[in-house]
């Protein structure tokens, strides 16, 4: 993005010859600062400008291209033939091959359209690219080539010098705005990628803000925004050269294209169930072309191409370390599950008592009692009347509907009053709730208890809640009468009486809650305490120096600064109790 902004601003030097390069750098930095500073407002506030700016930009460059074709060289259409490319490579040899690293810049930037797949359908992007973007780009490059055929010495600033004098400043303004819009697309795409990486446990959880209540997918990640801003400013100030930025951009883009082709080959075989031969043909056809451009871009590593390689290695190391540490932590929790009967049998010896209220314990386990709970009751031999082990999980689907968000199951006998709640998110869901989580949770538990007692032999021991209200269909009420004939009186967050009217002629029927439901409601009135475990990982003494650095330094730093589950579920800090525990990997 800094390359696009810097190249757009540098066009002013065509008209103002004495303008020092430092001023171009300062203007570019100011634009980047403003761009990143307004991200927290959300793109929906300025998105109405995006389509007109991009459309005006494409029409401008295509119109200028048509003008240059007719004014400078009407035979330039012959350059569309690939024979000229072969003649060029044959005549120039190694120099022609190395120039491919710069030629690839002609196709970079267009891939930002595909970063908007989270906001638009694939069909709309295909139509926009085929009918508008591609023809405009072809006309623009043909016009620039026609200009260069008569002005061989203006290759460094050929784009701006090919613009007619009368429309230079309007085109310069539109070019700058288009660069800003393109940068905004890259920033939004980065937010979406980081969000999905967090959902897949490939990146430390970060704060995700949904900036629009109407448009899905418009999010803001503060930490990523400021880190990205610092990186862009550092590259702009440090390089101060559009060619070096281009080398870095070209290598990054061609590498991404090749990796995408390799992954697409796996998708063809595993997901689409295509033959291996078709996948190999696709890989060879596209991969050979991309490798040709990558080989030319690698030669530019000392001249700026090292930047994407270093950044890729850093982020890959962070993602690998986080995934490895998280996986080891989960293995530790699974291997050290606590036997609930053993803890309760030790109750008289430890002086263990049940205190009023509901205890919500965050866990990484979808079933069973985590080791952190055993550590808690060993040091403080008392726990609440009702215990709920909450596990936040990401599932391999894009979105999870609200009626399938919470899944409740029971742990141990009924007299223990212990439950497990799995909060499920898809990898495109925003892991941030805008409602009172504890009311939703208690409602789901009461629903579970009511249905469990009304049905002597339920098929599964777990079910999902439906928008926080009781599922009346399980209680023998027709779903057609739910909206106006069935409700729950809300004395506190919940009522002790469920009123049901099966048809308009019947009187309201009162169905009192069961004893266990009443006890849960009383516990809710006593208060809800959230117990969060902080597991600190330490590498074993026999581990290598690299592993000790990765676990004791990198993973520890990431764990300390990442978002905890209580942040996703809007837990008040006044009701939060943290328990520390160390595990060795």
Burial tier of 211 (Cβ tally within 10 Å: 0-12, 13-18, 19+)? middle
pLDDT tier at 184, thresholds 50, 70, 90: confident
> How much is the pLDDT for 63?
93
User: Where do runs of H (alpha helix) occur along 346-485?
Assistant: 347-350, 371-379, 437-454, 482-485
Q: What is the mean pLDDT of residues 182-204?
A: 83
- Are 444 and 391 in contact by the 8 Å Cβ rule? The answer is no
Confidence (pLDDT) at 119: 60
Average pLDDT over residues 4-25: 76
Identify the pLDDT of residue 488: 33
Integer Cα distance of 39 and 345 in angstroms: 55
Confirm if 443 and 468 have CB atoms less than 8 A apart. Answer: yes
Given a cut of 80, whether residue 315 has pLDDT beyond it is: yes
Going by C-alpha positions, the residue among 547, 537, 83 that lies closest to residue 329 is 537
Q: If you search the block for the tokens 């190249």, which residue do you land on?
A: 7
Which pLDDT value is given to residue 147? 92
Bigger pLDDT: 108 vs 159: 159
What are 76-133's pLDDT values in tens digits?
A: 988 888 888 888 888 888 888 888 877 877 777 666 666 555 566 778 888 888 888 8
Alpha helices in 99-163 (DSSP H): 100-103, 122-128, 134-148, 158-161
Residue-level pLDDT at 502: 42
Band of residue 19 on the pLDDT scale cut at 50, 70, 90 = confident
Task: Name the residue ranges covered by the structural domains of the chain.
Answer: 1-101+112-240, 242-303, 312-430+437-453+514-584
Alpha helices in 73-119 (DSSP H): 83-92, 94-98, 100-103
Beta strands (DSSP E) in 244-379 are 353-363
**Res. 490 pLDDT band, cuts 50 70 90:** very low
In angstroms, rounded to a whole number, what is the distance separating the alpha carbons of residues 218 and 188? 8
> Taking 70 as the threshold, does the pLDDT of residue 289 lie above it?
yes
SS3 readout for 9-76? HHHHHHCCCCCCHHHHHHHHHHHHHHHHHCHHHCHHHCHHHHHHHHHHHHHHHHHHHHHHHHHHCHHH
Average of per-residue pLDDT values in the chain: 77
Would you say 425 and 400 are in contact if contact means Cβ atoms under 8 Å apart? yes
204, HSE (Cβ side, Cα atoms, 13 Å): 20
**Structural element, H or E, at residue 299:** none
pLDDT at position 515: 80
What is the pLDDT confidence band of residue 68, given thresholds at 50, 70 and 90?
Answer: very high
With 80 as the cut, is the pLDDT of residue 581 above it? no
Q: Bigger pLDDT: 416 or 231?
A: 231
CA distance 539 to 553: 10
Residue 336 has pLDDT above 50, yes or no: yes
Residue 194 has pLDDT above 90, yes or no: no
Rounded to an integer, the average pLDDT of 534-559 is 86
Residue 470: the pLDDT is 37
Q: Where are the beta strands (DSSP E) in 364-472?
A: 382-395, 406-411, 418-426, 463-464
- State the burial class of residue 396 (Cβ atoms within 10 Å of its Cβ: 0-12, 13-18, 19+): exposed
Other beta carbons within 10 angstroms of residue 543's beta carbon come to 16
Q: Comparing 145-149, 455-459, 548-552, 564-568, which segment has the lowest mean pLDDT? A: 455-459
The CA-CA-CA angle for residues 449, 451, 454, to 5°, reads 105
> What pLDDT, on the 0 to 100 scale, is given for residue 160?
84
Q: Which residue(s) pair with 426 in the sheet?
A: 395
346 versus 387: the higher-pLDDT residue is 387
> What is the chain's length?
585
Q: What is the pTM of this model?
A: 0.72
| Spatial contact of 246 and 3, defined as CB atoms under 8 Å apart | yes
Res. 284: pLDDT tops 90: yes
């Amino acid at each position: 993005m800094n390359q696009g902004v810097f190249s757009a601003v540098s066009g002013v030097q065509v008209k103002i010859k004495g303008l020092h390069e430092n001023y171009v750098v300062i203007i570019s930095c100011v634009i980047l600062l403003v761009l990143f500073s307004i991200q927290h407002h959300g793109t929906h506030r300025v998105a109405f400008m995006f389509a007109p700016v991009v459309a005006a930009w494409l029409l401008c460059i295509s119109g200028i291209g048509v003008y240059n074709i007719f004014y400078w060289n009407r035979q330039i259409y012959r350059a569309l033939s690939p024979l000229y490319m072969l003649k060029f490579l044959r005549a120039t040899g190694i120099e022609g091959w190395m120039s491919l690293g710069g030629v690839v810049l002609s196709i970079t930037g267009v891939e930002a359209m595909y970063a908007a797949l989270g906001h638009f359908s694939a069909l709309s992007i295909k139509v926009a690219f085929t009918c508008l973007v591609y023809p405009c780009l072809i006309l623009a490059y043909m016009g620039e080539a026609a200009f260069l055929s008569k002005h061989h010495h203006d290759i460094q600033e050929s784009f701006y010098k090919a613009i007619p004098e009368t429309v230079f400043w309007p085109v310069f303004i539109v070019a700058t705005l288009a660069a800003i819009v393109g940068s905004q697309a890259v920033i939004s795409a980065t937010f979406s990628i980081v969000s999905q990486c967090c959902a897949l446990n490939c990146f430390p959880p970060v704060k995700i803000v949904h900036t629009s209540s109407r448009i899905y997918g418009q999010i803001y990640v503060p930490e990523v925004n400021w880190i990205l801003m610092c990186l862009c400013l550092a590259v702009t100030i440090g390089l101060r050269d559009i060619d070096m930025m281009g080398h870095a951009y070209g290598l990054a883009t061609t590498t991404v294209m090749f990796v995408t082709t390799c992954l697409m080959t796996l998708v063809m075989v595993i997901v689409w169930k295509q033959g291996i031969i078709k996948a190999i043909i696709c890989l060879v056809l596209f991969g050979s072309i991309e490798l040709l451009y990558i080989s030319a871009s690698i030669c530019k590593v000392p001249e700026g191409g090292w930047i994407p390689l270093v950044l890729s290695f850093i982020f890959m190391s962070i993602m690998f370390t986080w995934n490895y540490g998280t996986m080891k932590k989960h293995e530790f929790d699974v291997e050290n599950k606590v036997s609930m009967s053993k803890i309760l049998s030790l109750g008289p010896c430890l002086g263990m008592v049940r205190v009023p209220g509901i205890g919500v314990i965050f866990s990484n386990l979808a079933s069973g009692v985590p080791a952190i709970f055993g550590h808690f009751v060993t040091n403080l031999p008392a726990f609440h009347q009702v215990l709920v082990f909450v596990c936040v999980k990401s599932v391999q689907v894009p979105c999870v509907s609200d009626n399938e968000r919470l899944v409740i199951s029971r742990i141990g006998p009924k007299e223990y009053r212990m439950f497990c709640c799995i909060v499920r998110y898809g990898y495109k869901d925003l892991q941030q709730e805008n409602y009172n989580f504890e009311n939703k949770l208690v409602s789901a538990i009461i629903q579970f208890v009511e249905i469990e007692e009304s049905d002597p032999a339920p098929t599964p021991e777990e079910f999902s809640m439906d928008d926080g209200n009781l599922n009346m269909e399980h209680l023998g009420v027709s779903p057609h009468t739910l909206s106006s004939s069935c409700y729950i009186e809300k004395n506190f967050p919940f009522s002790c009486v469920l009123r049901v009217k099966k048809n308009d002629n019947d009187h309201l029927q009162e169905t009192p809650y069961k004893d266990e439901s009443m006890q849960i409601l009383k516990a809710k009135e006593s208060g809800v305490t959230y117990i969060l475990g902080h597991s600190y990982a330490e590498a074993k003494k026999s581990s290598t120096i690299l592993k000790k650095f990765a676990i004791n330094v990198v993973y520890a730093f990431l764990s300390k600064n990442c978002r905890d589950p209580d942040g996703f579920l809007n837990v008040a800090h006044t009701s939060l109790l943290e328990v520390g525990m160390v595990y060795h990997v």
